[in-house]
Amino acid sequence: MQFSAIQIATMIGGKVEGNPDAAVASFGKIEEAQVGQLAFLANPKYEEYLYSTNASIIIVNDTLELKQPITATLIKVADAYTSFAVLLDKYQQIQRQQLSGIQQPVYIDATAKIGDNVFIGAFAYLGQKVIVADGAKIYPNVYLGNNVTVGENAVIHPGVKIYHDCVIGKNVVIHAGTIIGSDGFGFAPQADGTFKKIPQIGNVIIEDDVEIGANATIDRATMGSTLIKSGAKLDNLLQIGHNAEVGNNTIIAAQSGISGSTKVGNNVMIGGQAGVVGHITIGDGAKINAQSGVSKSLEPGKTVTGSPAYEFTAALRSQATSRKLPDLEKRIKQLEDQIAALTEKK
């Protein structure tokens, strides 16, 4: 499938400089792109490749000033990175729209309801009263337990397991190997030292426009719902505990863990390998640096780092001071020697 420069410019609101009929059929990195491919330039560190690339069309910022002639057709936009992302999304949507129908073999319970323009891949399992809304894509080896709902245009990638009663919203993307709705980690200690399992009878609700990476786990609630709110973006290899809440447009990077019943606010940013204890609140707009261990609630807008995590600028001051400790030790030793010498003179 080919697109011309003028077609692409129309899609992303850009202005063509060069041949409006130049056509591309695929994408390439600016340093490697060949004739017939589209690239983009957002980072000034890669500007040198603008003059040597073989790409036919390049998306650039409208503030770019050329230092020498180029052969490619340019599409100038306000933000090349964002515009390229929009274009990739449109391209991906076109590809997904080509997927439709039900491959064989699959198991679909007689009580399940399947919408229009749905794709269901081979070896998928759809249990009792499952609902798959219009335009959803269910890839091979997906398991949808009883009473699961999958919203319009959701994409469930291979090997995803969604346990009974869970709800997946519109335009949600869940990547391969992720498990939604496994039991929360609830065990009551007994007098004899054993642990009695607490049944987990709630569910998981994932609202619209959420994306979840590969091999993440989101536990079902003990009662009620574990909730991932609209627009949240969760990376690979995450653990979200039972009854936790993740707010609108919050981003959590890989290998992080949110313990049970913790409420993470809107527009929070959590770095990779961070850990958050249970039953606390992370305020809207808070930022948690990578590998931080958060043991108490955070106020809205606060930035923390370290383990245990504490206020970011204070942590930087402490780090700066700790680097000076060897010199401070020497100075203290010198002062002690001077004091000792003065004492002996007396």
Task: Specify the range with the lowest mean pLDDT, choosing from 42-46, 69-73, 203-207, 316-320.
Answer: 316-320
The answer on 212 and 90 residing in a single domain is: no
User: Hey, is 164 helix, strand or coil?
Assistant: coil
The answer on 294 and 278 residing in a single domain is: yes
DSSP state of 187: E
Cα-flanking dihedrals φ and ψ of residue 218, to 5°? -125, 115
Task: Specify the range with the lowest mean pLDDT, choosing from 130-144, 160-174, 234-248, 305-319.
Answer: 305-319
Tell me which of 157, 164, 242, 279 is the catalytic residue: 242
Q: Is pLDDT above 80 for 1?
A: no
In the chain, pLDDT over 90 holds for what percent of residues? Answer: 84
Q: Is pLDDT above 70 for 220?
A: yes
Q: Give the pLDDT of residue 47.
A: 94
The answer on 308 and 217 residing in a single domain is: yes
Q: Give the pLDDT of residue 311.
A: 77
Q: Specify whether 242 is catalytic.
A: yes
Widest CA span in the chain: 101
Q: Is pLDDT above 90 for 334?
A: no
The answer on 207 and 245 residing in a single domain is: yes
The answer on 125 and 109 residing in a single domain is: yes
| Chain segment 305-331, per-residue pLDDT in tens | 988 776 777 777 777 777 888 888 888
| Calpha distance 237→187 (Å, rounded) | 24
Q: Give the pLDDT of residue 283.
A: 98
Q: Is pLDDT above 90 for 62?
A: yes
The answer on 152 and 274 residing in a single domain is: yes
The answer on 203 and 69 residing in a single domain is: no
Q: What mean pLDDT value characterizes the chain?
A: 94
The answer on 129 and 93 residing in a single domain is: no
pLDDT level of residue 346 (50, 70, 90 thresholds): low
CATH number of the domain enclosing 164: 2.160.10.10
Cα-flanking dihedrals φ and ψ of residue 51, to 5°? -95, -5
- Count: domains in the chain: 3
| Chain segment 114-128, per-residue pLDDT in tens | 999 999 999 999 999
The answer on 19 and 129 residing in a single domain is: no
User: Hey, is 322 helix, strand or coil?
Assistant: helix
Q: Is pLDDT above 70 for 246?
A: yes
Whether the Cβ atoms of residue 111 and residue 45 lie closer than 8 Å to each other: no
| Calpha distance 5→15 (Å, rounded) | 9
> What one-character-per-residue DSSP string does 251-309 give?
EE-TT-EE-TT-EE-TT-EE-TT-EE-SS-EE-TT-EE-TT-EE-S-B-TT-EEETTTT
In the chain, pLDDT over 70 holds for what percent of residues? Answer: 99
How many C-beta atoms surround the C-beta of residue 274 within 10 A?
24
Domain hosting 340: range is: 314-345
The answer on 251 and 234 residing in a single domain is: yes
